[in-house]
Amino acid sequence: MAKINESGEKVGFGRAIADFWRGYVDFSGTTTRAGFWWSALFLFLLGVVVTLFAGLVALIAEVALEGAGLGVAEVIVGLVELGLLLPTLALLSRRLRDLGMTNSGIFVNLLVFGILTLASEAFTLLSNLTGVFSALSTICAILLFFFEVEFILFAFLGTGALLGTRQTFWFRGQA
């Protein structure tokens, strides 16, 4: 596995995609703003293609299997999302490090984000099954929204934008 270190370099679409796949589970190194957004565009386009493919498979399965189409489509999309989970988290981790966040800050951010995501999904499922937990599901969704806004805002910042004058738990100090 190659270490991805894009800081200070011009990154185009091809390089960003190559780095995305080369750094499949590389949570160290850095990813520039351009590298992050080119990868985000790639993931969006891949999502469109996978969704269209899954829809076509679902339509065929619906006709051939008389009613199992939606389940087949959900399995296809779910497997692709599962396969892209680690490289997407690694990409986000490298981007946050490029901004100046410490490893501990990145870990806590991703951990809380993951816990809120799982809790929101679990409470939504329990709410749909029992009618209870809808308030907890809503609270988790709102907190998750704020984390997503944070990550989006961070993605727009330039290299080293979060560097502080001294090292803290969350941010690195300038050298």
pLDDT, averaged in runs of 10, over the chain (175 residues)? 70 91 88 92 95 86 71 85 92 92 92 91 84 84 91 89 88 81
Q: Give the pLDDT confidence score for residue 7 in this predicted structure.
A: 67
Q: Global pTM?
A: 0.84
Q: Is 10 helix (H, G, I), strand (E, B) or coil?
A: coil
Q: What is the pLDDT of residue 67?
A: 67
Measure the CA–CA gap between 9 and 32, rounded to whole angstroms: 8
Residues 169 and 86 reside in one and the same domain:
no
What is the domain extent for residue 140? Answer: 100-175
pLDDT at 129: 80
Measured over the CA atoms of residue 114, residue 119, residue 125 and residue 127, the dihedral's sign is negative
Same domain, 88 and 13: yes
CA atoms of 170 and 104, how far apart (whole Å): 7
- 71, 17: one domain: yes
Q: Per the structure block, which two tokens stand in for 4? A: 């991805």
List the one residue out of 30, 37, 34, 71 whose CA is nearest residue 54: 71
